[in-house]
Amino acid sequence: MSRVLLLAVMLLGTAGCSGGGPKEPATTAPSRITVSSPAFHDGGSIPVEYTCDGAGTSPPLAWSGTPADAKALAIVVDDPDAPNGTFTHWVLLDLDPKTTSLAAGSTPAGAVQAANSAGKSSYYGPCPPSGTHHYRFTVYALSKATNLAAGTKLADALKAIDSNAIVRGRLTAVYRRQ
């Protein structure tokens, strides 16, 4: 009987950890940055060109409300609806804090891309296996630059953002494959 109970406890313990990797960073940072996109609105649909069904380039983004004491910015794009837990599509680190927008498909000079959940150091367009998924485009203002190298492991990048985030802002949009 004790073996059955032990096995049940072990199975329940691992079921709670079945996510697809690190969760979003800085969930306690106050939301004071306003994030938008000329390509879609908050709660709207992401145009096909920014997904795996199109060109797969990153969408244009804009933001305001970065505090004067921010030393760097970070951008994380993730999908909390992924079947195995949150899937991170893009991590962009150490943007100049004076930056207020990104053009479609661009990475600003001086910024670095960390590995995403697919293990690539690039934007990975939304590509849900089924149903409608939500995609969060989150901009973080950091108290200091992460100084991480391009290709840094996802967990390390998210930890650095979490450790240094002072405020954040988010634009959430949806995508469903046809």
Q: pLDDT per residue over 24-80, tens digit each?
A: 675 688 899 999 999 999 999 999 999 999 999 999 999 999 999 999 999 999 999
Percentage of residues in the chain having pLDDT higher than 70: 85
Structural domain includes residue 13: no
Structural domain includes residue 12: no
Nearest Cα to Cα of residue 167 among 65, 41, 90: 65
Question: What CATH number is given to the structural domain containing 74?
Answer: 3.90.280.10
7 has a pLDDT exceeding 80 = no
- Higher pLDDT: 3 or 106? It is 106
21-25, 101-105, 111-115, 168-172: range with lowest mean pLDDT: 21-25
Indicate the pTM of the whole model. Answer: 0.86
Structural domain includes residue 94: yes
Structural domain includes residue 2: no
Structural domain includes residue 6: no
Question: At a CB cut-off of 8 Å and minimum separation 6, what does 121 contact?
Answer: 113, 114, 115, 150, 151
Residue 11 — very low, low, confident or very high, per pLDDT cuts 50/70/90?
A: very low
Structural domain includes residue 7: no
Q: How far apart are CA 84 and CA 170, in angstroms?
A: 22
Q: How far apart are CA 29 and CA 43, in angstroms?
A: 22
Structural domain includes residue 59: yes
Q: Domain of 56?
A: 20-176
144 has a pLDDT exceeding 70 = yes
Q: How far apart are CA 75 and CA 53, in angstroms?
A: 23
The pLDDT of residue 59 = 98
Q: How many domains does the chain have?
A: 1
Structural domain includes residue 65: yes
